Amino acid sequence: MSVETDPRPRRTAVVTGASSGIGAATARTLAASGFRVVCAARRADRVAALAEEIDGVAVACDVTDADQVAGLAAAAGEVVHVLVNNAGGAFGSDAVEHADAEQWKAMYDVNVIGLLRVTQALLPALRASGDAVIVNVGSTAGRVAYEGGGGYTAAKHGTKVVTETLRLELVAEPIRISEIAPGMVHTPEFSLVRFGGDQEKADQVYAGVRDPLVAEDVADAIVWVATRPSHVNIDQVVMRPRAQAAQHKVHREPQG
């Protein structure tokens, strides 16, 4: 049996927030689909291990730091085909009345300004590919409001709107712009970070929920979006586990 190999040079993808969760799963899935993956995250040891595993490139990069983002663009090279703006997160769960302005600034900084910085830095290389895709990782929190989520929902609505704006502005260019908006995804860190390291609170989020999404489910959607034919722009994918019919409608099974 003969195995057909893709005659094209390995295309390049950049994934931010690649040290764990959705970012790491996306880097692995892109690599399995034949991409040279530039894995960027703050934690250098983690991205180094991942890059070694998938024969990619590791870049220690905090997307809120302009110099580090410039370093990421330099490492990515002159031609980039796929950018996955995944770095983001939720910090805190206080009601608006009691919320911490510094946490809100930090959320806007990583979920919106970080995306802006990385996109600006990589646009020349994306343009140079002649056929590029930007996938921004948003959230169902960018679709609705929920109690205690004010700062995060505001930031993720920002992610959504920046995605839409960019699609309008780049319509004449060979660059597609998409957003993946997942609901409940059980990753080791998202809720733990939100609740400041309180594992019990983090576990409560998923308590009794049969099969929340996992990082690989979201990675699968991201890579599907990134590998459509070049005339096909998937504007947005909103995805949730079957047990979450809406943000406030989560089916929980009785606990032991």
Asked if 216 and 29 touch (Cβ cutoff 8 Å), the reply is: yes
Q: How far is the CB of 124 from ligand 8X3 (least distance, A)?
A: 30
Q: Does 236 bind ligand 8X3 (CB under 6 A)?
A: no
Q: Which lies closer to ligand 8X3 via its Cβ, residue 134 or residue 141? A: 141
**Strand, coil or helix: what is 99?**
coil
The count of residues interacting with ligand 8X3 (CB under 6 A) is 6
Q: Which lies closer to ligand 8X3 via its Cβ, residue 71 or residue 148? A: 148
Positions 183 through 212 that interact with ligand 8X3 (CB under 6 A): 183-184
Q: Does 159 bind ligand 8X3 (CB under 6 A)?
A: no
Positions 54 through 93 that interact with ligand 8X3 (CB under 6 A): none
Residue found by looking up tokens 């490492």 in the block: 75
The partner residues of 132 in beta bridges, in order of sequence, read: 175
- Distances 67 to 6, 74, 160 between C-alpha atoms, Å: 35, 11, 25
Q: Does residue 152 have an active-site annotation?
A: yes
Which stretch, 3-11, 24-32, 76-84, 133-141, contacts ligand 8X3 (CB under 6 A)? 133-141
Which stretch, 33-41, 73-81, 102-110, 137-145, contacts ligand 8X3 (CB under 6 A)? 137-145
Instruction: Single out the catalytic residue among 108, 146, 152, 206.
Output: 152
CA–CA dist 107, 152 (Å, integer): 6
Q: Any residues with CB less than 8 A from the CB of 167 and at least 6 apart, and which?
A: 176, 177, 233, 235
Q: Does 139 bind ligand 8X3 (CB under 6 A)?
A: yes
Which stretch, 37-45, 136-144, 221-229, 231-239, contacts ligand 8X3 (CB under 6 A)? 136-144
Q: Does 23 bind ligand 8X3 (CB under 6 A)?
A: no
- Positions touching ligand 8X3 (CB under 6 A) are 139-141, 149, 183-184
